[in-house]
Amino acid sequence: MSEVGLRNIIERTLMLPFSISEMVKGIALFSLSTILNLLKTHVDYLSKFSDLLTFHLKSISEKTPVYVVRDFKSITITSTDLEQLPGKVIFENIDELKFESDVKIELFKSKIEQIRNVNKLYIPKSLPKLLVYSKCVNVGEVVEI
């Protein structure tokens, strides 16, 4: 490289609004931020996997059948529906899920394993909201009726 070319590069470098060390720090911070975001995503996935594994191990150890009701537009559940089921139930991917007023606290606790990916959940006022929330994952709206 000629002396003129080298001088030109040095002059252009000196005209930058930030130093090389600032640029290196910026790249390092960006890289660390990206790595931390990736790690957080992996931790979230591992946490969800752990929850799922715990659920299945619990189900196996209790030898209680767990039924999955999924992919419906609208479902209404009565106490008779739950009483006739020989195990627990998971409701998943339902637009509107409604529990009738005859569903009591003990029946809800004993039969409902989880409610997930439900847009609108209708519950009787007799059910404690925190009990219902503890069974919910990714539920859009809970409406007391």
pLDDT digits (tens, 9 = 90+) for 101-126: 999 999 999 999 999 999 999 999 99
Does residue 114 share a domain with residue 85? Answer: yes
Domain residue limits at 27: 1-56
Does residue 74 share a domain with residue 100? Answer: yes
The DSSP H or E segment spanning 73 is strand 66-77
Put simply, whether the predicted model's pTM sits higher than 0.75 gets the answer no
**CA–CA separation, 103 vs 117, rounded Å?**
21
Does residue 124 share a domain with residue 89? Answer: yes
Q: Kindly tell me the number of DSSP H helices and DSSP E strands found in the chain.
A: 5, 4
Handedness of CA 73, 78, 81, 86 (dihedral sign): positive
The DSSP H or E segment spanning 136 is strand 136-144
Return the SS3 of 18.
Answer: coil
Q: pLDDT, tens digit, for every residue of 61-81? A: 666 788 999 999 999 999 999
**CA–CA separation, 133 vs 115, rounded Å?**
9
Does residue 88 share a domain with residue 21? Answer: no
Does residue 37 share a domain with residue 84? Answer: no
Asked if 130 contacts 108 with a C-beta cutoff of 8 angstroms, the reply is: no
